[in-house]
Amino acid sequence: MMKRYDAVVIGAGHAGVEAASAMAKLNKKTLLTTLSAEAVAFMACNPNIGGTAKGHLVKEIDALGGVMGEVADKATIQVRMLNRAGGEAVHSLRAQVDKNLYHRLMKQRMENTENLDVMEADVNEILFEGNRVVGVKTAVGDTIKADAAVICTGVYMDSRIITGNYERATGPAGFMRSVGLSENLKRYGLDIRRFKTGTPMRVLSKSVDYDEMELQPGEEDLPSFGMLTEGEVRNDCPCYLTYTNEETHRIILSNLDRAPLYNGNISGIGPRYCPSIETKVVRFKDKERHQIFVEPEGADTYEMYVQGLSTSLPFDVQELMLHTVKGLTRAKITRYGYAIEYDCLNPKCLNAALGIKGYAGLYSAGQINGSSGYEEAAAQGLIAGINAARYLDGKEPVILTRDSSYIGVLIDDLVTKGTEEPYRMMTSRAEYRLRLRQDNADIRLTELGHAIGLADEKRYAKYLKKKAEVESLKETFDAVRFKRKDVSQAGIDLGESSKPSFTITELIKTGVGIADIKKLLPELDSYMTDAVTSAVTDIKYSGYLEKEDKRVAEESRLNGYKIPCDMDYNDVEGLRTEAREKLSEVRPMTLGQAGRISGVNSADVTVLLIYLKKKRY
């Protein structure tokens, strides 16, 4: 049978559901394929959404009109705010979620989305006419016509799982793997790499001695991920903290000859910032212990996730080392840890719209692009879906800049710098992180989401209300003045200041927090909590933000110079040989992006600028 769609999304993980949802909302008849219906948005590893920098990504996805934040709120069983010691700019919301509920809710959402069909299918070939996508073909020979395709295969392409000397040709959590698509992409000249990630063992809840571990309860009065989420999310399932010890490390080190990571059985490159326990013990031999978090997998299961013990050591070694950890000495393993190797793309083959260079209508998102994490995948999926839809409409792509969002930083890092290991988003990667905060993600991006057609009127109205309140609060903070006596009587410490009176703005700049400001202005309770947070934080960082504005202006100027995709850098006189090679490889879309390529210096950028002006590009 011949099927016809506007676009096909290959893979229904966290990238795939965002891409498919976005295209369907933008009135594109979309097919979302999955190797298994039970794998839709499945959390094969840690059962949480958000965390350091990742919480920023989820808030940005929500502001643009994506779905991860809303579904995560409905499946949340505990919330915490990370990085509190680092200031508001790096505060990161993290939610422990019911992984089975999250999967079911996302699957239902996809099934109920207008313009979207979900189908089990193993797509192993992209079909082209010339360099233009015209459809896909499945393993059973089914041909599906489409003018755009988004590849979101995650860690499934030619994957294998490894535990000790045991290995199996399968995807994560026992799901089938994708076979054939990787070879298909190689035939079209794409650079395929081999990466590796892993997961820890799961244990039975009733076999854990919780009294021997540190309780990690949820925190109250925290914001949700979704702007439209009403009421408080569930927050009653605790996590627990424990540590490895000298005996744990001894067992690991004495069995390195049986560790696939060290005996040559694993060739894929693993993540630097989320290493296996054997890697941590080898790399940090001076550390006496490593943190282990024991977290619930969900409200409908007794399985607990042992975060921090990701491993591919043999089964018997996993048992031995687990039982040396305080609180886990009697723990019964329900699932052993494993490593998974998989094929992925060199992300330098992508442009900033997440389109694959040289092939019209072909996009890629998620872990196939060399990233790690559910949130990084979802962010890419949303942008790839938006741009695939805009390609079909003949519109210019949406390119998020580094000063606009963490999503912009993520994509620019991948496509401009590339990555030699699974890429993880961190707050330190964002040079403009004082303006890229969780609390203002909606102010930064909802306008764009509405203009694209994803952020609906309800979301847009709430954004306008918050924006107006933030502006009103700043005016009030500048105008209202209190005598020194009144401020002191409110219990606010003025330090060594001798000023006779203070505006609220002046107090904020000295470090006075929201709770104390409310003592002077109780009417703040009538404003949106998020609006108060954003207004206060903007004022707190105002001096630094002014400095960032100058850097942003220069970056924007350079990004205003578009570079033709077919530019022949050999025609540009004065470019160094290394710069020609790097520019030809990455093919930057703007002069700003060109300047961020490793091996391209400021003199090369000046040469390019002169050339572009001469050619009137």
Residue 115 · residue 27 · CB < 8 Å: yes
Q: What is the pLDDT of residues 128-178, one digit of tens each?
A: 999 999 999 999 999 999 999 999 999 999 999 999 999 999 999 999 999
Cα separation, 63 vs 51, whole angstroms: 17
Domain ranges of the chain: 202-340, 457-547, 560-614
Q: What is the pLDDT of residue 274?
A: 81
Q: What is the pLDDT of residue 557?
A: 85
Query: Which residues sit opposite 368 in a β-bridge?
Result: none
Task: Compute the C-alpha angle 101/103/107, nearest 5°.
Answer: 115
Residue 343 · residue 370 · CB < 8 Å: no
Nearest to 89 by CA among 570, 452, 497, 427: 427
Residue 121 · residue 180 · CB < 8 Å: no
* 560-614: CATH topology: DNA polymerase; domain 1 (1.10.150)
Q: What is the pLDDT of residue 377?
A: 98
Mean pLDDT of 530-554: 90
Cα separation, 429 vs 433, whole angstroms: 9
For 202-340, CATH number out of 1.20.140.10, 3.40.605.10, 2.40.30.260, 3.40.630.30 equals: 2.40.30.260
Residue 566 has pLDDT above 90, yes or no: no
Confidence of residue 602 (pLDDT cuts 50, 70, 90): confident
Cα separation, 385 vs 153, whole angstroms: 14
Over the range 201-218, which residues count as b (16 or more CB within 10 Å of their CB) and which as e?
Answer: bbbebeebeeeebeebeb
Confidence of residue 382 (pLDDT cuts 50, 70, 90): very high
Nearest to 256 by CA among 340, 314, 200: 314
Q: What is the pLDDT of residue 498?
A: 73
Q: What is the pLDDT of residue 227?
A: 95
pTM above 0.85, yes or no: yes
For 457-547, CATH number out of 3.90.660, 1.10.10, 3.30.450, 2.60.40 equals: 1.10.10
